Structure formats: structure tokens, C-alpha cells
Amino acid sequence: MKVRIHVSLKPGVLDPQGRAVHHALEGLGFAGVADVRIGRLIELEVADDTTDAALAEMCEKLLANTVIENYAIEKVA
């Protein structure tokens, strides 16, 4: 089974990389971009019987820093 883990910074956590991209977009003439937040996508191929609890444990122990990041698990058909 294919699983995608979307990791993003929690609201209120400073995002210097997002800020730099926002500034670059403005410099290139793209108007109307109010804010940019940078995250990451992790794709896993796991056994079909992998539980939701096991996936959440992977995220909380390694894949996401839950102090400053949120994560969402997406199972791909």
C-alpha cells in the first residue's frame, strides 16, 4: 500500500524558507500571493496490513517534529 505523509509547520511557527519564496515571487512580479508556507511530502510503500496506529507512530517518532509540525496521512489507492 502506498501512503503519503504531508508534514507542515504549525500555525504561528516562523517559516523563513516560506518567507524567502514569498519575497522571490514578489520580485518576479507575481502579485496577489499573501503568504507562503513550505512543507514536505514523504511517500512510503508499506504492507497492506499496516495499521493507522502504526503509521501515526512512525510520524510521531521520526517523520514529523510534533512540537512544531502537523502531519496528515493519506492512503493512496
> Per-residue pLDDT tens for 53-67?
999 999 999 999 999
SS3 77: coil
Quick one: pLDDT at residue 77? 82
CA-CA distance, 5 to 24, in Å (whole number)?
Answer: 27
φ/ψ of 41, rounded to 5, equals: -120, 130
CA 53 to chain centre: 19
Domain boundaries, the chain: 2-76
10-residue mean pLDDT profile of the chain (77 residues): values are 98 97 97 96 98 98 98 95
Pick the CATH number of 2-76 from 3.90.1150.10, 3.40.50.300, 3.40.50.1820, 3.30.1280.10: 3.30.1280.10
Quick one: pLDDT at residue 7? 98
